[in-house]
Structure 1
Amino acid sequence: MKKHMEQECARFHQEMQAHDDLAINPSNNPALAALSSVTRRHVLKGGLGVAALGFLGGCGLEGGQKASGELPARLIGFDGIPVQQDPAFDRVIVAEGYTARAFFSWGDPVERGAPAWKADASDGWQAQSLQAGENHDGMHYFPFADDPDRHGLLVINHEYVNPTLHPQGMSKVGGRRPLAEVRKEQAAHGVSVIEVSKDAQGQWQRIYPSHYNRRISALTPMRISGPLAGHASMKTAADPSGREVLGTLNNCSRGFTPWGTYLACEENWHNYFVNRDREDYAQRVSHKRYGISNGSASKTYSWESADPRFDATPDATQPHGGYVNEPHRFGWVVEIDPFDPNSKPVKRTAFGRFCRECATPSVAADGRMAFYSGDDTRGEYVYKFVPAGRYDAANPAANRDLLDSGTLYVARLAADGSGEWKALVHGNEGLVAENGFASQSEVLLNARAAADLLGATPMDRPEWAAVHPQSLDVFVTLTNNDQRGDKFAVDAANPRPQNLHGQILRINEAGNHPAATTFRWELFLLAGEADGSKDADGRPVPAHLTGNIKGDLFSSPDGLAFDKDGRLWIETDYDDAEPVMQTMGCNQLLCADPATREVRRFLVGPRGCEITGLTWSPDSRAMWINIQHPGISYPASDGVTRPRSTTVLITRDDGGVIGAV
């Protein structure tokens, strides 16, 4: 059974990745090379080294802003560790002088009365609704004001579920999913809020039971707010008001607010729905442009066979067409108050709807804010949302509804290193009724189509964004795109065809202000093998697989975050079983100096996992990361026990700051 489940999980994750990343952008928006004299040959020459690339026009970051002016000469204080290529590796290894230990795993108790996790996965959905969900992803630590470095709340996304959730994997009976299995899968999605603190010996522990501990899932009632609240496109047979939705789905990366709330972002929600009406699907932009299934079943779980709200086929016999609008109620930012376990989560529709990876905040001295997001699909775009109001630290209550009004922007990059934020505002540059946008509600509902019309730049799977704590420069991971050069033209920001290794984009806003409408950009680095590398047969590695990393090699940057001192931490997500990834070994956590661009490998995870989720205690002496879908037996590491997605706590043996000299 163990070997069968490993094979089933590997197959499932391959199918998930294929569905998640399917290129569906029909816009043919111009590549950067089409906007200037820069040619593909020029861009690819010499593996596109950072020194040669610059800004392709000899320009530096606007205003000469450099993080190095505010940081010590040597930023990274640990020695990099080697890759891990053992095909049966099932542990976590961290840099010398540090300790990593499993802290919070799938099935651990969260809410009061939760039963102990059963290693054979025979728990029912009611038990799962009280326990940690599966596939831990984005997370954030929220400190208590009276003792912030020792006491806080850890909020953790549970992105999706694996076949290991059930004793024998996911089943169908007569072509239909059993309702009990579907309910358990829905309960294992969402978010966990757990109280954590240091004990008398100075060791971090989970607090259970706790008044604050809470599970939020695909079954939790949530309020719809902002421009789409009550709109006709949000009404269903079960919710004729269009103001309340059950649950949140596919919460990948995360965001947070300066007023202490958590932002869960809904990424690949489209895989949960099906619209079988081919004629309706062909003209319904809100389904087709987002890749909802138009086949016999949804792309991932076939929930619609047991739960009718995931069948978005229009039904004229039911009010509001049945559940044709249910997909409209996903793809949003969900705001959660972790300190009030009785509060109802709120879907903030002013942010716009797409497959959002994150909502990373940047706050200027004048209180103006921006929240940066990637739309994680091949050929999609980078966005930011700028609230209309300003953050007021002295008046926390006044900040509560700042996210209900503002402007959504999409990035358009030029090959000379300049860029502009195009406003997705009704009436702007063709966003009018004649083009399918009758009001601002339609613009936000169909943000991808609106961005197409504004000429946004298609990118290589934009994922996490991170904001430098001093310069406010924005770094965005472009994880990979093996269809670049096929469906999307090669350009200066996405310079490699068959881009299997990805890159990191750096944006400097005009005036270093998050509300600016223009910016400068550069490629911070190209991931991949070293220039001049040879494969196992002694042949030169093709140019599209080489990068320009100064230091330890990696592929497919995904998670990204800055610590308080300005170290950039990079998490990877690639299929470590693919032959092209053998050099990289298991997925990794690395640290980069944004001034020197030096990269060192800090941690490697077990075979088959993704490294994701990243947060710190305020004093940076505790770091938490997530091991998602480990392929063998982690955290038991015995080669037998059912693998469990796990939050890992990392501390420095001398009690010092993580990563510091």
Structure 2
Amino acid sequence: MDSKRLLPMADHVRGKRSAVTCQLKCDNQCLGEVCNTTSNGYFRDIASSAVSRRAVLGGSAGAVALFGASRFDAPAAAAPLSEQALAEGRRGARRSPLNFEAIRPVDFKVDEFNVPEGYSWKPIIRWGDPLFADSPAFDPKKQTAAAARKQFGYDNDYTEIIDIPGSEGRRAVMFVNHEYTNENIMFPPTMPIEDQREIGMINHGLTVVELERKNTASPFSYVKGARLNRRIVIDDAYRMTGPAAGSELLKTKADPSGTKVLGTLGNCSGGLTPWGTLLSGEENFHSYFRAEGTSPEEKRYGLTDKATVRGWEKSDPRFDTRNKGFENETNRFGWIVEVDPFDPKSTPRKHTALGRFKHEGANVIVAENGHVVAYSGDDEKFDYLYKFVSKRKYRKNDRRHNMRLLEEGDLYVAKFSGNSPASEIDGKGTLPSDGAFDGTGRWLPLTKDGKSMVEGMSLEEVLVHTRIAADKLGATKMDRCEDVQPSLHSRRVYVACTNNSDRAKPGKAGVDEPNPRAENRDGHIVEIDELGEQTSLRFAWNLMLVCGDPATDENTYFAGYPREHVSPISCPDNLAFDSVGNLWISTDGAPDGIGYNDGLFKVTLTGRDRGRVEQFLSVPRDAETCGPIVRDQEKTVFVAVQHPGEEGTWEEPNSYFPDYDSTLPRPTVVQVYKKAPAKGRGRGRK
């Protein structure tokens, strides 16, 4: 496959965003017809004063406190901050032990991995690295599908690391998504297209791999042949759970039960559950299927009657839903997948109760009343933000019970309301007169107590065609909700809205207070405060960040922090927290944006430095920063470097990351750690 033969986005991207990425990752989604053509707009509730917002404190020390299978417990119930705590917050937030001096932005043509002074970096595992005792060594010129089944997959995205109990931090298990492939730089052009297709299919999916290190001050290495190592690929079985499992909408010729699906596709971000399993979001699955593309349901999910860029439909009839008996195959993708990393023989599950859309991921918090709440964004222009509340309550130290919590519950979609007059939302990002983009919102029920809450749609229809159900309720169209992370410190929820340049175009949704820029090329961060318990149906919100380069855009906003003292940031994607509650943001491209390589950024959320953005690292040319993990108490950070050298070819690579040895670029999970930089490791090489 030559992905560069047809690049419709080539004249529509500037800065570091790759037209090849647009083609392979989402089938040029931005150029196609907007899937959401509903007329539901923005419910405006003009208030005379700003919304009062409570500050609450969670009992957990952050996601890192969950590491260790014996410690997957709920955070303590939140309580209002005392006056003393509020005063301390005004004076300054607790400091993280991971201290660094922010790096300068790196030009998008530079092929380097850059870290702060005093830090070094090391690849943990690369595309093609052998996982099992009998796995062959990676040979880029002699790749086979059989070998790929036993090697680390391509384009690593969401990453999570969990300490193995009893190892005193020296051993861990790592879970990784493999979102998509770029055959144009993976394979020599002489390789038969059929072989490229077969190997590319196997390079999708999921990986579980064990890690080891000498002590917590040393970097990890992966363990070849370890007991927990696992590759889950396109022909492995997944079990459907929840109300839609077995529905007529999920049955196919190959699976008349509607409960057994082969493979997972477009896996983007994910989340760690309090009971020690991993969640993975199926995102841009539409680009793998050829369909009739005529029904409202197909159009709403971006399915079309055109040959796919990878041509899987030529190898497997289920990827052409025009084939009799496979009309429902696309309905079997677009779910949240749950995997148990501690049981290599377990069957992954797809949870229908959380709805079907282009999930960026899902992130879980245990509510004050014991119910589990999962937040998820639908990553497409003008789509929605969702929340799931489990039917049953979390039970401490009852993993068997907790592993069923995502199978039943209520599903909601968000409707935002601003508190500023419409005339003050000018489309440029100018702050309204009250000095903030903020307001309140409601969670609108899509399902409740096992019943559909959408007129004219059955429960199964709501869960399989969730976008259409949310349209009918009039949910707020957002600027690409990607990662949605609840903080275990404040219990506030943070939403990464990556970008959207179409709001001002004829026939499209106009600006509103939660999405205030007509050409939102740099994205923003929404901060949500549930009013009451985490299961509340009302919330307050504000825009924590309005991203961009403050040196060239006067309408950037950093929670009131001086713009001249922040790192420029564009297109927020994945989110994480450190041990003291700072937010960390990884970025994904900057169409028409700031022209720097993607990176990882720390954002202070409390105290006088609230809104301060500091760049911690920068990834190489054409690459995206994914899956951040911040173990600041160990002074170490992990990121998945996805699609380095995306714009290159086999013959003329655009990157040589991570080995810089004149071979092809390889997507890689990297550890950054506090140590005197070793020669040639503190920074990458051009």
Match for residue 391 of structure 2? Answer: 388
Whole-Å Cα distance in 2 between the matches of residues 124 and 545 of structure 1? 50
Alignment of 1:436-455 (within 5 A): 437=457, 439-455=458-474
Residues 452 and 459 in structure 2, CA contact (< 8 A), matched pair in contact too: no
1:529·1:547 contact (CA, 8 Å) conserved in 2? no
The equivalent of 1:296 in structure 2 is: 306
Give the secondary structure class of the aligned counterpart of 1:571.
strand
CA distance in 2, matches of 1:516, 1:360: 17
Aligned to 1:228: 244
Give the corresponding residue for 1:102. 123
Instruction: State the 1:465 CA deviation.
Output: 1.2
Structure 1: distance between partners of 2:441 and 2:190: 46
C-alpha displacement at 1:640, in angstroms?
A: 3.1
Give CA deviations for 1:514-554 in whole Å, capped at 9, x if unaligned. 21111000000100121xx45xxxxxx58599997561111
Q: For 1:161, give the aligned amino acid.
A: T
1:59 is matched with 51
Question: In the TM superposition, what are the counterparts of 1:95-244 in structure 2 within 5 Å?
Answer: 95-120=116-141, 122-147=142-167, 149-164=169-184, 166-168=186-188, 178=194, 180-199=195-214, 202-244=218-260
> Displacement, 1:229?
1.5
Task: Provide the TM-score with structure 2 as the length reference.
Answer: 0.81
SS where residue 103 of structure 2 aligns? coil
1:14 is paired with a residue of what secondary structure?
Answer: helix
How far apart are residue 425 of structure 1 and its match?
1.9
Cα distance in 2, alignment partners of residues 625 and 119 from structure 1: 24
SS at match of 1:581: coil
- Aligned match of 1:465: 484
Kindly indicate whether the alpha-carbon contact (under 8 Å) linking 2:549 and 2:594 is maintained by their aligned counterparts in 1.
no
- Equivalent pairs counted in the alignment come to 598
Letter in 1 for 2:40: N
Residues 162-201 of structure 1 deviation map (CA, whole Å, 9 limit, x = unaligned): 1246423598x8xxx62x3222112101111010121279
Q: Does 1:587 align with 2:607?
A: no
Aligned-partner Cα distance in 2 for 1:254–1:620:
23
1:336 deviates by 0.6
Contact kept in structure 2, 1:91 and 1:637, CA below 8 Å: no
8 A Cα contact 1:108 1:117, kept in partner: yes
CA RMSD of aligned residues (A): 3.0
**238-247 or 71-80, larger mean C-alpha shift:** 71-80
**Correspondence list, 1:501-516, <5 A:** 501-511=522-532, 513-516=533-536
Contact 2:418 2:440 in 1 (8 A): yes
- With over 3 angstroms needed to count, the CA separation of the structure-2 counterparts of 1:473 and 1:227, relative to structure 1, is same
Tell me: CA distance 1:419–1:123, structure 2 relative to 1, closer, same or farther (3 Å). same
- When residues 69 and 314 of structure 1 are mapped into structure 2, their CA distance, relative to the original with a 3 A threshold, is farther
Structure 2 distance, partners of 1:169, 1:370, is: 48
Alignment of 1:282 onto 2:291: no
In the TM superposition, what is the alpha-carbon distance from 1:364 to its structure 2 partner? 2.7
Check if 1:649 corresponds to 2:641: no
SS in 1 for 2:639: strand
CA distance in 2, matches of 1:170, 1:158: 25
CA-to-aligned-CA distance 1:290-309 (integer Å, 9 cap, x gap):
0112x2323x3221122111
Within 2, Cα distance between the matches of 1:132 and 1:620? Answer: 26
Could you tell me how far apart the structure 2 residues matched to 1:202 and 1:139 are? 19
* Partner Cα distance (2:378, 2:495) in 1: 11
Which piece of structure 1 moves more, 406-415 or 96-105? Answer: 96-105
Pair 1:425–1:365, CA change in 2 (3 A): closer
Match of 2:356 in 1: 353
Distance in 2 (CA, whole Å) between partners of 1:640 and 1:309 is 39
CA shift for structure 1 position 58? 2.0
Shift of 1:609: 0.5
What's the counterpart of residue 564 of structure 1?
A: 579
Q: Deviations over 1:101-148 (max 9, x none)?
A: 11111001123311111133x311111111111111011112212135
Q: 1:526 aligns with which of 546, 571, 578?
A: 546
Contact 1:490 1:497 survives alignment (8 Å):
yes
Report the residue type matching 1:193 in the other structure: V
| Per-residue CA distance 1:5-37 (angstroms, 9 max, x = gap) | 9x99954213235634452101121125xx245
Q: Distance in 1 between matches of 2:396 and 2:28?
A: 42
Match of 2:494 among 463, 468, 475: 475
CA contact (8 A) 1:136 1:646 kept: yes
Match of 1:517 among 512, 537, 558: 537
Q: Residues 617 and 207 (structure 1 numbering): CA distance in 2 closer, same or farther, change over 3 Å?
A: farther
TM-score normalised by L of structure 1: 0.84
Structure 1 letter corresponding to 2:445? A
Matched, 1:323 2:338: no
Q: Secondary structure at the match of 1:15?
A: helix
| Structure 2 CA distance for partners of 1:3 and 1:423, relative to 1, 3 Å | closer
How far is 1:607 from its partner? 1.1
Give the secondary-structure state (helix, strand or coil) at the position aligned to 1:389.
Answer: strand
Following superposition, the deviation at residue 620 of structure 1 comes to 4.4
What is residue 432 of structure 2 aligned with on the other side? none
Q: Does 1:598 align with 2:607?
A: no
Check 1:580–1:29 CA distance in 2 against 1; reply closer, same or farther (3 A cut).
Answer: same
* SS of equivalent residue, structure 2 residue 418: coil
For structure 1, the residue ranges without an aligned partner over 5 or more in a row are: 39-55, 316-321, 535-540, 656-661
Give the secondary-structure state (helix, strand or coil) at the position aligned to 2:313. Answer: helix
**Alignment partner, residue 485 of structure 1:** 504
Distance 1:63 1:543 in 2: 27
Cα deviation for residue 61 of structure 1 reads 2.0
Query: Given the superposition, is the C-alpha separation of residues 98 and 63 from structure 1 closer, same or farther in structure 2, using an over 3 Å criterion?
Result: closer
SS at structure 2 position matched to 1:635: coil
Cα distance change of structure 1 residues 564 and 125 upon mapping to structure 2, 3 Å threshold: same
Judge which range, 565-574 or 159-168, deviates more. Answer: 159-168
**Cα distance in 2, alignment partners of residues 70 and 332 from structure 1:** 43
Take 1:345 and 1:243, find their aligned partners in 2: how far apart are those partners?
12
CA distance in 1, matches of 2:300, 2:263: 23
Q: Give the 4+ runs in structure 1 shifted more than 4 A.
A: 2-5, 7-11, 63-72, 426-430, 541-550, 616-620
Does the CA contact (< 8 Å) of 2:545 and 2:557 recur in 1? no
Q: Per-residue displacement from partner, 1:556-610 (whole Å, max 9, x unpaired)?
A: 11111112210110111115xx66433xx11111100012111101001111111
Q: CA deviation at 1:273?
A: 0.9
Q: Distance in 2 between matches of 1:92 and 1:415?
A: 41
Secondary structure in structure 2 of the residue aligned to 1:414: strand
Deviations for 1:55-75, whole angstroms, at most 9, x for unmatched residues?
x94224236767977865363
* 1:540-551 matched pairs, under 5 angstroms: 551=566
SS of the residue corresponding to residue 201 of structure 2 reads: helix
Instruction: Return closer, same or farther for 1:389/1:569 CA change in 2, 3 Å cut-off.
Output: same
Q: 1:432 aligns with which of 452, 455, 468?
A: 455
Task: Give the one of 27, 32, 35 matched to 2:38.
Answer: 27
Identity %: 34
Q: Where does structure 2 lack aligned partners over 5 or more consecutive residues?
A: 11-16, 57-79, 420-438, 646-653, 678-686
Partner SS state of residue 576, structure 2: strand
Partner amino acid, structure 2, of 1:515: T
Cα distance in 2 for partners of 1:407, 1:510 equals 18
Q: Counterpart in 2 of 1:266?
A: 282
Q: Which residue of 1 aligns with 2:346?
A: 343
**In 2, Cα distance between equivalents of 1:490 and 1:143:** 45
Q: What SS class does the counterpart of residue 28 from structure 2 fall into? A: helix
Instruction: Name the stretch that deviates more: 641-650 or 392-401.
Output: 392-401
